[in-house]
């Protein structure tokens, strides 16, 4: 019996220790209860619940790199401009601007009524401070290159110059910001809407050099100037924003609260949507699309992106050690023409994706207003099985005879696997080409691509800003993004010319010519243009789906 | 017993050192680093990042720097979440996993032991067959199959419980249940087998013969001894539930430590990998120690010197 008592005591002690943890949990529950309630529970407070899909890595505008981070900051900050639902920059903190010196000098005139959430005025000094901070080597910002357009931006970031005052951004006075550029960038007004170029409250950062560390414990420390402010951040759980009473444009903001969930499991997100626990989700699992396709909740929002196959043009040998047939442009063209893209878009993806016969997606304006770059550029090739077979034969592999086996690399995912399998069977059936699928974990896959350890690899590219340049400058021979090993001096030259050209019509023409070359040589085989399917409750109105992948709820509201 | 415990604790320190070392070098051997992204970072910026996190120093130097920090209790900053430290991450998410684990273990223990005892007492009857059938079923079904079914039935269809997330007692039920079902089944079967063995012993028959009531026999004589194998399973089970909660945490979106355990590897977040691994290793070793102590206390035949 004594032993039994000892055992009981141990159990009790154990229970007490865990009870402590339970106790800690209880307190949190009290706080959690009130905020969880969805619509209608909080006495006519308008709340929108959106699934961000993952935990934001950071809420520091200088360090953020992904869509989840930028989505949150889009709602807590305002830059010099703000993108509207068509992706066009509209005045925000800057009420007007002047463009001089053939597009190399910008003078922004700031509004005088923009305040930080702690009541302090937002001045041009806050912009100068933030941009120099983002460029400083100590911060080690991954998106610092967005500021390389600014004079001496790159040099300061790489340490070539050490005096930040030599960087071409200067607050002439409290409400005038002068920016000198290295080269004219016609999309600069869109760039200043990008989070890396948001202003930061200099007075707060000087007092808290580790900012934004600690904002999860004290949300008031996250002093911002946008339509919403941070109310709560519970890691891997949810983030709550509430309306900013000091926002200059607050009459346009109708929502009282925004709740961002971080549910990573796509199936759970759909279940939550069905159970009225969330109002909007992205990332619908393809297996579920069929049952939602015809419902009013199913929205297909635009996104600038292209899904394509990377071809290893630089290697003389395939992964299997044989002579690399992909170095012959006829082989690449044959493969491009022998893939039936509608099988992929209509049978596998089913969310309105468009087959792609060029690289730059639709949704980017051309030189003439009202025209679209892709429309003007047109299609560069079509699916033509006959022609494909002829090209393959010309290259020395009639009906695929003697063609070495190719490795198709993709990062582990059901979706990419299905697409790979479709391509594998099409190439075998149509051209007699054998392709082996190889999947790797994401980072290993990135490394393999970088090191040329593949024959064909799946890839996707989403635009950083609304201009063809974000797609085209990827394939200059010196770009770190160019994993193909393809180098064409004419292409490099055209891109360089386009970057320095001040006449927009000429600039767009150069870019069309560059795309001509890219599609003639075909070091990449475009497959389809992305769409962004979402499930949205019918009572959610007026959200802006920005084609860079973000969603803007500034002017959204709930109408039940 | 005292000396035994001290010796085990000393061994624990050595074991943890081995864990840190092996994990450190294994983690750094996997291709890919924390800052590899689809849009590759320009060289100069990569250099800035590597300098900041000492990734450009020779491996042995990084190892010693890390060892120095860990001895002082500093597990370092996270690479993926630069504004959070690993200490903070563990401090905030472990209690969540502990809560979830506690309820799962509690459920599994009480239901399992009861079910197992009842089955043993009514061996061969319908209730026994039924219980054991369900036990096999739940041992075989993985949690990522059970969890979505629960979400669908109790959430989407019946609207009784929320489908995911954390924050109120309602949110705890489905995940704890999903986590507890497998262990419940194991404990039930273990209890039943052990109980059957004990019930066939002479001293139990003797107690019955002397006229003691069934319940008294069960609790005072049989259960105590039958539970010995169960108790020794319990402690490693606790460790397993805490470390294996990743799947349930992901499906129900629970901010626990289990997720960091797996996602840190995907992210190549070296400090989080090391911090969480060392933490769990320490926890596991402690649980095993507790199991041995309890075993000694319960079974007079066991003696440690």
Q: Which of B47, B167, B228, B238 to mutate to test the interface with A (most CBs of A within 10 A)?
A: B167
Q: Which residues contact A113 (CB under 8 A, 6 or more apart)?
A: A248
What is the per-residue pLDDT across A104-148, written as a single tens digit (0 to 9) for each?
999 999 999 999 999 999 999 999 999 999 999 888 888 888 898
Within an 8 Å CB–CB cutoff, is residue B168 touching chain A?
yes
Question: Taking Cα atoms as reference points, which of A515, A458, A449 lies closest to residue A484?
Answer: A449
What is the per-residue pLDDT across A62-110, written as a single tens digit (0 to 9) for each?
998 888 999 999 999 999 999 998 888 999 999 999 999 888 999 999 9
Within an 8 Å CB–CB cutoff, is residue B145 touching chain A?
no
What is the maximal distance between C-alpha atoms in chain B? 86
Q: Identify the pLDDT of residue A14.
A: 59
Q: Identify the pLDDT of residue A36.
A: 41
Q: Identify the pLDDT of residue A33.
A: 38
CA–CA distance, A220 with A181 (Å, rounded to integer): 35
Lowest mean pLDDT among A253-267, A284-298, B95-109, B287-301: B287-301
Average pLDDT taken over every residue of chain A: 89
Task: Report residue A431 CA to chain centroid gap.
Answer: 36
Encoded tokens for A241: 């924003």
Lowest mean pLDDT among A40-44, A349-353, A529-533, B11-15: A40-44
* Entry field: residues in chain B: 305
Encoded tokens for B288: 């095993």
- In the numeric block, the tokens 């060029």 are attached to A358
Cα–Cα–Cα angle for B267, B271, B277, rounded to 5 degrees = 90
| CA distances (Å), origin B4, targets A10, B13, B234 | 18, 15, 21
CB distance B45–A10 less than 8 Å? no
Determine the straight-line distance between the first and last CA of chain B, rounded to whole angstroms. Answer: 6
**Would you say B194 and B226 are in contact if contact means Cβ atoms under 8 Å apart?**
yes
pLDDT band at A28 (very low <50, low <70, confident <90, very high): very low
At residue A398, does pLDDT exceed 70?
yes
What is the per-residue pLDDT across A448-462, written as a single tens digit (0 to 9) for each?
998 999 999 999 999
What is the per-residue pLDDT across A53-68, written as a single tens digit (0 to 9) for each?
999 989 999 998 888 9
Encoded tokens for A13: 């002690």
Q: What is the pLDDT averaged over residues A408-436?
A: 94
Helices B224-243 + B257-267 axis angle, to 10: 40
CA–CA distance, A366 with A345 (Å, rounded to integer): 26
pLDDT band at A27 (very low <50, low <70, confident <90, very high): very low
At residue A39, does pLDDT exceed 50?
no
Q: Identify the pLDDT of residue A560.
A: 84
All residues of chain B having their beta carbon less than 8 Å from the beta carbon of residue A3 are: 297-298, 300
What is the per-residue pLDDT across A138-159, written as a single tens digit (0 to 9) for each?
888 888 888 989 999 999 998 8
Q: What is the pLDDT averaged over residues A512-522?
A: 96
pLDDT band at A280 (very low <50, low <70, confident <90, very high): very high
Q: Identify the pLDDT of residue A241.
A: 97
Q: Identify the pLDDT of residue B224.
A: 75
pTM of the model: 0.84
Q: Identify the pLDDT of residue B240.
A: 81
Q: Which of A66, A213, A271 to mutate to test the interface with B (most CBs of B within 10 A)?
A: A271
Question: Taking Cα atoms as reference points, which of B99, B153, B175, B162 lies closest to residue A37?
Answer: B162
Helix/strand/coil for A484: coil
CA–CA distance, A318 with A323 (Å, rounded to integer): 6
Question: Taking Cα atoms as reference points, which of A280, A317, A347 lies closest to residue A533?
Answer: A280
At residue A301, does pLDDT exceed 90?
yes
Nearest CB partner across the interface for A443, out of B32, B231, B254: B32
Residue numbers in chain B where pLDDT is lower than 70: 38-40, 213-215, 217-218, 244, 302-305
Q: Identify the pLDDT of residue A12.
A: 58
């Amino acid at each position: 019996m004594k032993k039994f008592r000892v055992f009981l005591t141990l159990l009790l002690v154990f229970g007490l220790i865990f009870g402590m943890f339970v106790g800690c949990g209880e307190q949190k529950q009290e706080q959690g209860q009130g905020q969880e309630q969805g619509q209608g529970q909080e006495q006519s407070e308008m709340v929108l619940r959106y699934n961000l899909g993952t935990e934001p890595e950071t809420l520091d505008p200088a360090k953020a790199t992904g869509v989840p981070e930028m989505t949150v900051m889009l709602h807590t900050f305002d830059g010099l401009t703000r993108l509207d639902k068509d992706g066009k920059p509209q005045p925000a903190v800057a009420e007007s601007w002047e463009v001089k010196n053939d597009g190399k000098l910008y003078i922004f005139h700031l509004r005088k009524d923009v305040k930080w959430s702690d009541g302090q005025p937002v001045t041009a000094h806050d912009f100068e401070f933030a941009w120099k901070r983002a460029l400083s080597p100590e911060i080690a910002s991954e998106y610092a290159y967005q500021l390389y357009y600014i004079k001496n931006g790159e040099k300061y970031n790489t340490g070539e110059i050490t005096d930040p005052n030599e960087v071409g951004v200067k607050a002439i006075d409290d409400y005038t910001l002068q920016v000198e550029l290295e080269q004219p960038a016609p999309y600069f007004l869109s760039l200043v809407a990008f989070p890396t170029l948001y202003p930061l409250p200099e007075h707060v950062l000087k007092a808290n050099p580790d900012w934004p560390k600690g904002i999860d414990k004290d949300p008031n420390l996250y002093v911002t100037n946008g339509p919403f402010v941070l109310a709560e951040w519970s890691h891997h759980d949810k983030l709550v924003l509430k309306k900013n009473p000091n926002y200059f444009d607050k009459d346009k903001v109708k929502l009282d609260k925004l709740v961002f969930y971080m549910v990573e499991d796509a199936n759970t997100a759909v279940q939550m949507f069905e159970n009225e626990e969330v109002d909007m989700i992205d990332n619908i699992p393809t297996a579920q699309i069929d049952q939602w396709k015809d419902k009013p909740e199913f929205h297909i929002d635009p996104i600038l992106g292209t899904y394509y196959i990377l071809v290893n043009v630089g290697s003389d040998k395939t992964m299997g050690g044989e002579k690399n047939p992909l170095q012959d442009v006829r082989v690449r063209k044959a493969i491009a023409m022998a893939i039936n893209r509608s099988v992929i878009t209509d049978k596998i993806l089913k969310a309105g994706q468009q087959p792609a016969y060029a690289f730059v997606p639709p949704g980017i304006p051309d030189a003439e207003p009202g025209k679209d770059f892709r429309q003007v550029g047109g299609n560069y090739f079509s699916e033509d099985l006959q022609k494909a077979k002829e090209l393959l034969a010309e290259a020395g592999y009639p009906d695929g005879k003697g063609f070495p086996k190719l490795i198709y690399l993709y990062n582990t995912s059901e979706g990419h696997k299905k697409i790979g399998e479709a391509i594998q069977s099409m190439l075998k059936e149509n051209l007699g080409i054998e392709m082996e699928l190889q999947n790797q974990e994401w980072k290993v896959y990135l490394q393999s691509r970088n090191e040329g350890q593949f024959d064909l690899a799946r890839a996707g590219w989403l635009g950083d800003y609304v201009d063809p340049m974000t797609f085209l400058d990827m394939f200059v021979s010196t770009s770190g993004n160019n994993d193909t090993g393809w180098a064409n001096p004419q292409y490099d030259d055209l891109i360089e010319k386009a970057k320095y050209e001040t006449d927009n019509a000429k600039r767009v023409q150069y870019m069309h010519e560059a795309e001509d070359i890219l599609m003639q040589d075909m070091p990449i085989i475009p497959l389809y243009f992305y769409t962004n399917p979402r499930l949205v409750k019918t009572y959610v109105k007026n959200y802006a789906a920005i084609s860079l992948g973000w969603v803007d709820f500034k002017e959204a509201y709930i109408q039940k | 017993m005292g000396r035994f415990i001290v010796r085990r604790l000393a061994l624990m320190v050595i074991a943890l050192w081995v864990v840190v070392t092996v994990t450190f070098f294994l983690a750094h051997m996997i291709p890919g680093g924390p800052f590899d992204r689809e849009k590759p970072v320009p060289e100069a910026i990569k250099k800035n990042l590597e300098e900041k996190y000492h990734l450009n120093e020779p491996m042995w130097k990084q190892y010693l720097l890390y060892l120095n920090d860990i001895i002082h209790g500093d597990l370092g900053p996270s690479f993926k979440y630069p504004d959070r430290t690993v200490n903070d991450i563990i401090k905030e998410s472990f209690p969540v996993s502990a809560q979830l684990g506690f309820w799962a273990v509690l459920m599994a223990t009480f239901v399992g032991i009861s079910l197992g005892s009842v089955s043993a007492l009514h061996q061969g009857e319908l209730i026994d067959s039924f219980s054991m059938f369900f036990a096999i079923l739940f041992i075989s079904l993985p949690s990522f199959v059970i969890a979505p079914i629960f979400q669908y039935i109790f959430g989407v269809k019946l609207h009784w419980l929320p489908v995911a997330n954390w924050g109120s007692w309602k949110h705890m039920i489905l995940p704890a249940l999903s986590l507890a079902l497998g262990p419940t089944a194991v404990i039930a079967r273990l209890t039943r087998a052990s109980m059957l063995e004990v019930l066939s012993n002479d001293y139990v028959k003797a107690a019955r013969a002397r006229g003691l009531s069934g319940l008294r026999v069960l609790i005072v004589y049989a259960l105590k001894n039958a539970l010995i194998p169960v108790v020794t399973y319990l402690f490693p089970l606790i460790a397993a539930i805490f470390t294996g909660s990743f799947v349930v945490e992901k499906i129900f979106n629970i901010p626990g430590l289990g997720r960091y355990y797996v996602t840190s590897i995907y992210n190549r977040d070296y400090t989080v990998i090391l911090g969480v691994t060392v933490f769990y290793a320490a926890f596991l070793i402690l649980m095993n120690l507790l199991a041995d102590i309890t075993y000694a206390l319960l079974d007079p035949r066991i003696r440690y010197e």
